[in-house]
Structure 1
Amino acid sequence: MASITTLKLPEELKFRISVAAADAGKTPHAFMIEALTVQTEAAERRHEFVSLALAAEQEVAAEGLVYDAGETFVWLRDRLAGGQSHSPRARPVTRRR
């Protein structure tokens, strides 16, 4: 069941939404629902991305090993082309200051 929420929109924004919704063949209500859904999903993906990045940072800090991006990309390119290059090797993290 949907709940009722009231939004106080500036008149200019309300007009712009009406025009954009009409251009998209939607009601202003459907247009706003879609916009809110898109923004909510983007915020959720961003949150998940940051969570994964922080977990990866903790994993690197705990294990102390990383792979050189350049070596990894060369290896991937070679593998995708059917080549047999050496796998990149894990190296200790070096701290930059």
Structure 2
Amino acid sequence: MSTTTIRLPEALKARIARVAAHSNQTAHSFILEAIAEKAELAERRKDFEELAGQRYAKIVATGETIPWAEMRSYLEDKLAGKATETPQARKLAR
């Protein structure tokens, strides 16, 4: 495991020590966990943005989409546990 030095303002260092102690962790383990959570969040955000870009490119290329009212109704039915058919994408009239 490599070592990295970070400089923390005293106020932040005190906050970390306080919350780490409250959760029965060392400040070191609290900081590692926080960094890992932040990295995961950034990775998930990047994946989400890439998927959104791919889906938008497909809409632009095909001109096909699902109207929001239909998708919302479908999602509400799914959440309610109702059997429902997946709406199909189609070219929409302008």
**TM-score (normalised: structure 2):** 0.83
1:93: Cα distance to partner? 5.0
Length, aligned pairs only: 92
Mark the runs of 5 or more structure 2 residues left unpaired by the alignment: none
Task: Give the stretch that moved more between structures: 8-17 or 68-77.
Answer: 68-77
Tell me if structure 2 keeps the 8 A contact 1:65–1:91: yes
Mark the runs of 5 or more structure 1 residues left unpaired by the alignment: none
Alignment of 1:1-97 (within 5 A): 2-76=1-75, 77=77, 80-82=81-83, 88-92=87-91
Question: Closer, same or farther in 2 for the Cα pair 1:7/1:39, shift >3 Å?
Answer: same
1:70: Cα distance to partner? 1.2
Higher Cα Rg, which structure = 1
Q: Deviations over 1:38-74 (max 9, x none)?
A: 0100000000000000011111111110011211332
